[in-house]
């Protein structure tokens, strides 16, 4: 396994702007609807924005509006980042991460992600709850997008940091 701190991932882009914790604006909902190809089914905040203010990462509530569990807490919605990570995945990125990142660091990312998400479930909720860690994964890796989104959102996610470093290598720029 290699040290995931070398090469160093780029600095993270700035988080959402003041007021984002209050919920998305109508323009944010419209932009995320276009990016997803459908209206969002859960409440969210814009956690990370591009320099032009458009959503890059959203932070979903842990339950959909109908009460269905939502395991994907951090969602990479922005372009071109979503396409960049898709290319990385299609070129064997998940297998490379499994070979290069310490499995304990991956497990720690899953545990921290689940704890952060679960802490936001209303205390009186008695229905089904989201399970698993990053993107609902219980073990190993499934989606580099979710790890990268979590890292961009501020989590100590070794997989997200690995993705960030690879995107700098492949795409030549951290963020546009």
pLDDT in tens, 38-47: 999 989 999 9
Exposed, middle or buried: residue 62 (CB in 10 Å: 0-12, 13-18, 19+)? buried
Beta-carbon contacts of residue 110 (< 8 Å; ≥ 6 apart): 132, 133, 134, 137, 138, 139
Residue 156 in this model has a pLDDT that exceeds 50: yes
Rounded Cα distance between 138 and 114, Å, is 10
Name the band, by pLDDT with cuts 50, 70 and 90, for residue 18: low
Rounded Cα distance between 45 and 58, Å, is 6
- Residue 159: Cβ within 10 Å count: 27
Instruction: Give the pLDDT of residue 2.
Output: 40
Bridge partners (DSSP) of residue 74 are 59
pLDDT in tens, 75-86: 999 999 999 999
């Amino acid at each position: 396994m290699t040290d995931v701190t070398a090469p160093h991932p780029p600095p993270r882009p700035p988080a959402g702007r003041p007021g984002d914790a209050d919920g998305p604006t109508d323009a944010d909902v419209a932009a995320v609807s276009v990016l997803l190809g459908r209206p969002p089914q859960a409440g969210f905040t814009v956690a990370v924005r591009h320099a032009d203010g458009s959503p890059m990462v959203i932070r979903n509530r842990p339950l959909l509006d109908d009460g269905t569990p939502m395991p994907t807490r951090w969602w990479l919605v922005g372009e071109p980042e979503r396409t960049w990570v898709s290319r990385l995945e299609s070129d064997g990125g998940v297998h490379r991460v499994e070979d290069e990142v310490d499995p304990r660091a991956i497990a720690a990312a899953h545990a921290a992600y689940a704890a952060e998400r679960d802490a936001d479930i209303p205390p009186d909720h008695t229905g089904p709850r989201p399970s698993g860690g990053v993107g609902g994964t219980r073990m190993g890796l499934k989606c580099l997008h979710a790890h990268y989104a979590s890292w961009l959102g501020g989590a100590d996610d070794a997989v997200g940091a690995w993705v960030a470093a690879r995107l700098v290598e492949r795409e030549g720029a951290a963020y546009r």
